[in-house]
Structure 1
Amino acid sequence: MENTKVYLEIVKQLREMISADKLKSGDKIPSERELSERLNVGRSSVREALRALELLGLIETRRGEGTFIRDFQGNQLVQLLGTFILQDEKAKHDVIETKNLMEMDLLRLVLKRADKKELLQIRNLVENEQLNDDQFFYQLIKIADNYLFSRIWLVLKDYYNSVHLEKVVYNRNILFLLIDALIEKDEEKTLSLYRQLRNLSIITDKY
């Protein structure tokens, strides 16, 4: 079995065990030997896959105790990438670009799914200065109601903040106009205002 397939099979097996056994954060998972026998693969392949899962912060190994499920709420992976990977300028640019593209797709989703009442509630929070830039977009993500989108955006946002990338200036006036454009369901105006918010107006062809 190829290494990639081994990794995916282990992830699938763990997910099934977590669901079937109602395991939660802090619970112990089977040993390398048990996983090796269940999956009919070598222990070295299991060990490498578990190391990858540990790097992602999904599990942790405690010396003399075993391997346990972690609560993936921390930012260990973010810190790791911020310290090593994201020191590369190209990687930093990619994070910024990907975050911008995701936020534009988010706005398109909100245009389709949000009702006026939800958007007026966000507008009220902006008016009362209760939201910063990240919080504003997170409110929109909740309206979009896409869990995977939410998880990816949160990780990107943390990467972005962890390495002190281009500081986002909180522009309340543009956010007001952006909300109004969403209420009007005007996609062209919405995306144009987003570009202003992110200073992308001079490179609109890329987005």
Structure 2
Amino acid sequence: MTETKPSRKMFLEVVQELRSLIGNENIRAGDKLPSERVLAERLGTGRSTIREALRSLELLGLIESRQGEGTFLSDFRKHQLVEVLAAFIMQEPKSLEDVSATMRIHEKEAVRVSSGHDDIRKLPLWDSLIDAVESGGPYLREDIVREVLIASGNRLSLKIWHLLYQYAGKPYSGEAEADERTEIAGMLRLIRSGETEKAVAAYDRWTEIVHAQRGNTDGDHPRDVQEK
């Protein structure tokens, strides 16, 4: 049977399940968590959903995977972001718009930082990305955004963005299409040349295209949401 696409609801349920396991089974930092199979059975969902949620929690530092051994709990008390964000999303009816807007704030800041620092602009990364985008071969939108975030050097911003991205329904899923590639390549060139505001404007134009292709399912225009 084909598993359904992981949903935000199931992601939150995984977070809640992990909290319950920690409290009810007295799991401490360094202890091993139940397997993906066990978690999937307890939640009544597919293992791919569990795997996606665990991957995000690992990025945040809540858990760690050891090859051949399993998944282990990190010091949960040092990482409260998941609890705060999960509670916010479950309680606020307008939360998805706010999550999407916050995600884009991180993206734009990464564009600004990357284009504003000489050392970052000199990275060979930009030439490689431009070549990949203009080659016409398959290239994922998500990879472009992630590479810019990584280049900006703010690991906390990257971690927050990754979590927000899951809740927002992965708006950059899929391959960049022909009409997007011109804007993407232009944005990357502007970052490389240090033209910050023009790079941000190119980012806006690209995300407008992506937003339109998704059929405006996220509600307001991305830029409008951010500037409210």
- Given the two structures, how large is their TM-score scaled by the length of structure 2? 0.51
Pick which of 170-179 and 64-73 moved more. 64-73
Give distance in 1, aligned partners of 2:172 and 2:193. 30
Aligned AA (1:117): P
Q: What CA distance in whole angstroms lies between the structure 2 residues aligned with 1:159 and 1:182?
A: 28
Residue in 1 that maps onto 2:90? 85
Q: One-letter code of the match for 2:55?
A: G
With 131-140 and 65-74 compared, the bigger mean Cα shift is at 65-74
Decide whether aligned partners of structure 1 residues 142 and 202 sit closer, same or farther in structure 2, where only a CA change above 3 A counts. closer
CA distance in 2: counterparts of 1:58 and 1:145, whole angstroms: 31
Structure 1 counterpart of 2:103, one-letter code: K
Cα contact 1:195–1:204 (8 A) shared by 2: no
Which of 111, 125, 145 does residue 118 from structure 1 map onto? 125
Q: CA RMSD in A?
A: 4.1
1:61 CA displacement = 3.1
Using a 3 Å threshold, how does the CA distance of structure 1 residues 201 and 189 change in structure 2: closer, same or farther?
farther
Give 1:169 shift: 8.4
Change (3 A) 1:86 1:137: farther
What per-residue deviation string (whole Å, max 9, x for no partner) do you get for residues 31-75 of structure 1? xxxxxxxxxxxxxxxxxxxxxxx7495894386674336698435
Mapped pair 1:178 → 2:187: yes
Q: Secondary structure at the match of 1:161?
A: coil
The answer to whether the aligner puts 1:106 opposite 2:110 as a matched pair is yes
Among 131, 137, 151, the alignment partner of 2:145 is: 137
Change in Cα spacing, 1:198 to 1:59, as seen in structure 2 (3 Å) is same
Aligned to 1:188: 197
Distance 1:175 1:55, change over 3 A: same
When residues 86 and 175 of structure 1 are mapped into structure 2, their CA distance, relative to the original with a 3 A threshold, is: farther
| Maintained 8 Å contact 2:101/2:222 | no
C-alpha displacement at 1:146, in angstroms?
1.8
Q: CA deviation at 1:85?
A: 2.2
Alpha-carbon contact 1:114-1:143 (below 8 Å) kept? no
Q: Write out aligned runs for 1:38-49 (5 A).
A: none
Matches within 5 A, 1:9-48: none
Greater mean alpha carbon deviation, residues 184-193 or residues 113-122:
113-122
- Cα drift, residue 127 of structure 1: 2.4
Q: State the partner residue of 1:159.
A: 167
Partners of 2:225 and 2:150 lie apart in 1 by: 27
What letter matches 1:125 in structure 2?
A: A
Question: Per the alignment, in what secondary structure is the counterpart of residue 147 of structure 2?
Answer: helix
Considering only CA atoms, is the larger Rg found in Structure 1 or Structure 2?
A: 1
Which structure exhibits the higher relative contact order, with contacts defined as CA atoms closer than 8 Å and separated by 6 or more residues?
A: 2
Identical counterparts, % of pairs: 13
What is residue 95 of structure 1 aligned with on the other side?
A: 99
Partner of residue 77, structure 2: none
Does the CA-based 8 Å contact 1:174-1:197 persist in structure 2?
A: yes
The question of whether the paired residues in 2 share the 8 Å contact of 1:58 and 1:69 is answered with no
Residues in 1 aligned to 2:18 and 2:24: alpha-carbon distance in whole angstroms: 17
Q: Which runs of 5+ in 2 are unaligned?
A: 1-14, 34-50, 58-81, 209-220
Code of the residue aligned with 1:61 in structure 2: it is I
Deviation at 1:149, TM superposition (A): 1.2
Structure-2 separation of matches of 1:109 and 1:198: 18
Distance in structure 1 (CA, Å) of the matches to 2:172 and 2:146: 19
The 3 A distance-change label for structure 1 pair 61 and 177 is: same
